[in-house]
């Protein structure tokens, strides 16, 4: 039996050898020099230079030639007249790895349609699923089943910490720190590109600077990179940047700041000082970079209630569920809960023993509380749809003293979110109000902001607060060390309210800032999503249209970019990308998905 297997193996090997040889011979016999020749395109090479007319020839997964006029025959010729060509876009910051656990999301079509050919995942310290199933298992499965874009993995500090210490709020013992080092090293050995933190989340928040430095020191010898969702993006932004700089200085590793911004009105403008800190560190020789998504609203769950929980629930009940508690519960539960769902819907994903234990040991009553907390914190179970809460609320509004209290609470809440002029109504039964600001609607109705907010809330409206300023967004975007990172996900098409960045980041940035506002030159934007990203990740074979580089190529109609997603209707693919090639394979042809999954997991070679 064994012998027979051996013989079959040898025969197969010979077969593969001959057929590869035969394929090459036939190829040349037919006189083909290339697989694909793209003609007549205006080419952005990845630098911040303007586009020039050129031809690009591709064979297998490589750009073989770039020139004004290429001689030779190609199996397929793409006439890109009136179109632009650029290196495929590299997304420095995505959370698509969570959605990609589901086979139907593995193509990441929402990203392909934006021209994205490579994503970096395992971000914000928490999405390092690799720890629970090992990076190599994830890599193996993606290799076997195929993925749309190329993907590079980071190992998440939060996940490593949780694996070793659970959700404990304390410093690690020397043994625990060692155990964390081992997990980080293991991920690096298996091909991860570096470490990510979510220092604003749990349990990442419990990790002091010194702990992070120790773990970043593990990735430094591999020339790995440290991506950080910093401890604070609001009033303590500068302290957070200083911490990132310190981590780079003491670990010797490259540091990359994720979704760089200043949130909340009072902190707008702080980005100038934050950039000055980064630039000083760069002048000192440290390698510090950042990425940004080109929107004024943040968060994966941007759709908010218009009045605070305390207004809905009254002080007694709200006091029981403090906002921070809810966030903690939500963060804490998220991984275990989601993993449980994954396990149910995707049978081949093993639920980790640790998570199973967590779920098993949780007293029933506590679980109900947690789930209720989660539902309330996501807004699904709160407010107008909850009959009991609605009745209690309306009753309280009939008492003048209570009503005055509620109104002033709502006013403060609106101001602290972003101010009425910066709160946009995303979803409303009265469709003509969608897209208007709360201030505009209050003016239209001739009512106070608070009364308008309460009325809209009772109608079940959902709002989106603009937490960043346009001036800040553009200030950051102009920096030559700031790449593009969507911070988006691979959502189920049409389900839930997702941030529009998942559908539009790359083309929106070109269209709005390069073409409409003209505040940032288009080639600068192209560079920020191609060669700059590759440079930050230390890749020498992607991010440019150059001979010998991998054939990740986007061909797009610069003048006909269409962003169809909106905060009222987020699940809409962007239009404008005509051809998209990943590793030399056509994944979008004439704007249509070809069904190919040619993405590779890009591994960092360990030393
Ligand atoms: Zn983040």
Q: pLDDT digits over 333-360, tens only?
A: 555 554 454 444 443 344 455 555 555 5
Q: Write out the H or E segment, with its range, that includes residue 3.
A: helix 2-29
Q: How many angstroms does the Cα of residue 119 sit away from the middle of ligand 1?
A: 15
Residue 128 CA to ligand 1 centre (angstroms): 13
Work out whether strand 482-484 and strand 585-589 pair parallel, antiparallel, or are unpaired. Answer: unpaired
Task: Return d(Cα 370, Cα 372) in angstroms, integer.
Answer: 5
Residue 304: predicted pLDDT: 81
Does the bond joining 401 to the residue before it have cis omega, within 30 degrees of 0?
A: no
State mean pLDDT over 126-135. 65
Ligand 1 centroid–CA 163 distance in Å is 20
pLDDT, greater one: 182 or 139: 182
* CA–centroid distance, residue 152 to ligand 1 (Å): 17
pLDDT tens, position by position, 152-164: 999 999 999 988 9
Residue 566 has pLDDT above 70, yes or no: yes
Q: How confident is the model at residue 595 (pLDDT cuts 50, 70, 90)?
A: very high
The rounded Å distance from CA 485 to ligand 1 centre is 11
Q: Does residue 607 surpass a pLDDT of 90? A: no
Residues making up the chain, counted from first to last: 607
Kindly report which listed range (6-15, 83-92, 171-180) carries the lowest average pLDDT score.
Answer: 6-15
Going from the Cα of 104 to the center of ligand 1, the distance in angstroms, rounded, reads: 25
Q: Reply yes or no on whether the pLDDT at 436 is more than 90.
A: yes
pLDDT tens string 446-503: 999 999 999 999 988 889 999 999 999 999 999 999 999 999 999 888 887 889 999 9
| pLDDT tens digit sequence for 20-56 | 445 555 555 578 999 999 999 999 999 999 999 999 9
Q: Does the structure show a pLDDT above 90 at 217? A: yes
Q: pLDDT of 247-268, one tens digit each? A: 999 999 999 999 999 998 889 9
| pLDDT recorded at residue 104 | 86
147 in Cβ contact with 139 (< 8 Å)? no
Q: Which of the residue ranges 125-129, 277-281, 303-307 would you say has the lowest mean pLDDT?
A: 125-129
Of residues 140, 145, 132, 164, the one with CA closest to residue 339: 132
Alpha-carbon span 129 to 101, nearest angstrom = 10
> 152 pairs with which residues across the strands?
120, 602
Interval between CA 300 and ligand 1 midpoint (Å)? 9
For the residues of 260-283, what is the DSSP string, one character each? ----SGGGTTHHHHHHHHHHHHHH
Q: How far is the CA of 316 from the centre of ligand 1 (A)?
A: 33
- Average pLDDT over the chain, rounded to whole? 86
159-173, 285-299, 365-379, 550-564: least confident range = 365-379
pLDDT for the residue 497: 80
- In three-state secondary structure terms, 586 is strand
259 Cα to the center of ligand 1, angstroms: 7
d(CA 204, CA 445): 45
Supply the pLDDT for residue 342.
41
First to last CA, the chain: 41
Q: Does 516 score more than 70 pLDDT?
A: yes
**Amino acid 14: pLDDT:** 41
In the prediction, which pLDDT does 417 show? 84
Distance, CA 26 to ligand 1 centroid (Å)?
A: 51
pLDDT-based confidence at residue 378 (cuts at 50, 70, 90): very low
With bands split at pLDDT 50, 70 and 90, how would you rate the model's confidence at 224? very high
Residue 346: its pLDDT value, please?
Answer: 40
Longest Cα pair distance anywhere in the chain, in angstroms? Answer: 90
Peptide bond into 471 cis (omega under 30): no
State the pTM of this model: 0.84
Average pLDDT value for residue range 204-211: 95
The strand pairing partners of 602, in sequence order, are 152
Determine the distance separating the centroid of ligand 1 and the alpha carbon of 155, expressed in angstroms: 14
pLDDT of residue 353: 57
Give the residue-averaged pLDDT of 308-318: 67
Q: How many whole angstroms separate alpha carbon 61 and alpha carbon 82?
A: 25
Ligand 1 geometric centre to CA of 361 (Å): 30
Residue 64 pLDDT more than 50? yes
Q: Which residues neighbour 118 within 8 Å (Cβ) at sequence distance 6 or greater?
A: 88, 89, 90, 91, 149, 150, 151, 152, 533, 542, 552, 599, 602
Q: Is 552 left (phi over 0), alpha (psi -120 to 50) or beta?
A: beta
pLDDT (tens digit per residue) in 519-528: 999 999 999 9
- Mean pLDDT of all residues in 532-561: 97
Whether 233 shows a pLDDT value over 60: the answer reads yes
Q: Average pLDDT, stretch 280-286?
A: 98
- Rounded to the nearest whole angstrom, what is the distance from the C-alpha of residue 352 to the centroid of ligand 1? 24
Integer-rounded Cα Rg, in Å, for the chain is: 26
Q: Give the model's pLDDT for residue 311.
A: 79
Q: What is the band of 361 on the pLDDT scale with cuts at 50, 70, 90?
A: low
Confidence of residue 363 (pLDDT cuts 50, 70, 90): low
What is the model's pLDDT at position 374?
44
**Which pLDDT belongs to residue 369?**
52
pLDDT value of position 107: 96
User: Quick one: the chain helix, strand, coil %, rounded to 5?
Assistant: 45, 20, 35
Q: What's the mean pLDDT in 75-87? A: 97
pLDDT at position 462, please? 87
Residue 15's pLDDT band (boundaries 50, 70, 90)? very low
- Ligand 1 centroid, distance to 96 Cα (angstroms): 13
């Amino acid at each position: 039996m064994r012998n027979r297997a051996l013989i079959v193996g040898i025969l197969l090997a010979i077969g593969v050898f001959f057929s590869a040889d035969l394929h090459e011979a036939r190829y040349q016999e037919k006189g083909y020099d290339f697989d694909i020749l793209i003609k007549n395109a205006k080419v952005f090479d990845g630098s911040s230079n303007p586009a020039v007319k050129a031809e690009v020839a591709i064979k297998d997964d490589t750009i073989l030639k770039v020139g004004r006029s290429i001689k030779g025959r190609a199996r397929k010729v793409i006439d890109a007249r009136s179109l632009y060509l650029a290196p495929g876009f590299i997304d420095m910051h995505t959370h698509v790895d969570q959605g990609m656990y589901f086979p139907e999301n593995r193509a990441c079509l929402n990203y392909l349609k934006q021209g994205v050919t490579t994503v970096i995942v395992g971000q914000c310290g928490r999405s390092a699923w690799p720890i629970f199933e090992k990076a190599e298992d994830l890599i193996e499965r993606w290799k076997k089943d195929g993925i749309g874009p190329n993907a590079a993995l980071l190992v998440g500090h939060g996940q490593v910490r949780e694996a070793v210490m659970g959700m404990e709020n304390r410093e690690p013992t020397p043994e625990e720190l060692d155990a964390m080092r081992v997990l980080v090293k293991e991920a690096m050995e298996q091909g991860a590109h570096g470490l990510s933190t979510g220092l604003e989340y749990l349990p990442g928040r419990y990790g002091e600077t010194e702990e992070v430095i120790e773990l970043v020191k593990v990735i430094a010898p591999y020339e790995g990179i440290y991506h950080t969702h910093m401890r604070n993006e609001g009033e303590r932004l500068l302290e957070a940047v200083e911490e990132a700089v310190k981590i780079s200085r003491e670990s010797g590793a490259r540091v990359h700041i994720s979704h760089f911004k200043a949130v909340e009105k009072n902190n707008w403008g702080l980005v100038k000082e934050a950039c000055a800190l980064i630039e000083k560190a760069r002048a000192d020789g440290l390698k510090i970079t950042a990425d940004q998504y080109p929107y004024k609203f943040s968060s994966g769950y941007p759709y908010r209630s218009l009045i605070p929980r305390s207004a809905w629930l009254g002080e007694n009940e709200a006091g029981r569920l403090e906002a921070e508690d809810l966030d903690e519960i939500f963060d804490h539960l998220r991984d275990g809960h989601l993993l449980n769902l994954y396990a149910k819907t995707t049978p081949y994903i093993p639920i980790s023993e640790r998570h199973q234990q967590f779920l098993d040991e949780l007293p029933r009553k506590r679980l109900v509380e947690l789930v209720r907390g989660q539902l309330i914190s996501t807004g699904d179970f709160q407010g107008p749809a909850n009959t009991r809460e609605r009745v209690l609320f309306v009753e309280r509004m009939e008492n003048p003293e209570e009503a005055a209290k509620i109104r002033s609470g709502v006013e403060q809440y609106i101001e602290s979110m972003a101010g009425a002029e910066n709160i946009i109504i995303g979803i409303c039964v009265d469709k003509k109000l969608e897209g208007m600001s709360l201030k505009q609607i209050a003016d239209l109705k001739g009512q106070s902001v608070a009364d308008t907010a309460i009325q809209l809330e009772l109608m079940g409206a959902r709002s989106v607060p603009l937490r960043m300023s346009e001036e800040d967004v553009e200030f950051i975007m102009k920096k030559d060390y700031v790449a593009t990172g969507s911070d988006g996900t691979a959502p189920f098409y049409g389900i839930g309210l997702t941030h529009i960045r998942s559908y539009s980041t790359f083309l929106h940035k070109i269209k709005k800032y390069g073409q409409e506002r003209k505040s940032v030159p288009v080639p600068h934007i192209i560079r920020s999503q191609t060669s700059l990203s590759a440079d930050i990740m230390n890749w020498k074979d992607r991010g440019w249209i150059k001979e010998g580089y991998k054939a990740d190529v986007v061909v797009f109609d610069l003048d006909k970019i269409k962003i169809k997603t909106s905060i009222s209707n987020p699940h809409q693919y962007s239009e404008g990308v005509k051809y998209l090639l990943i590793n030399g394979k056509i994944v979008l042809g004439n704007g249509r998905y070809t069904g190919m999954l040619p993405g590779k997991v890009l591994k960092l070679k360990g030393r």
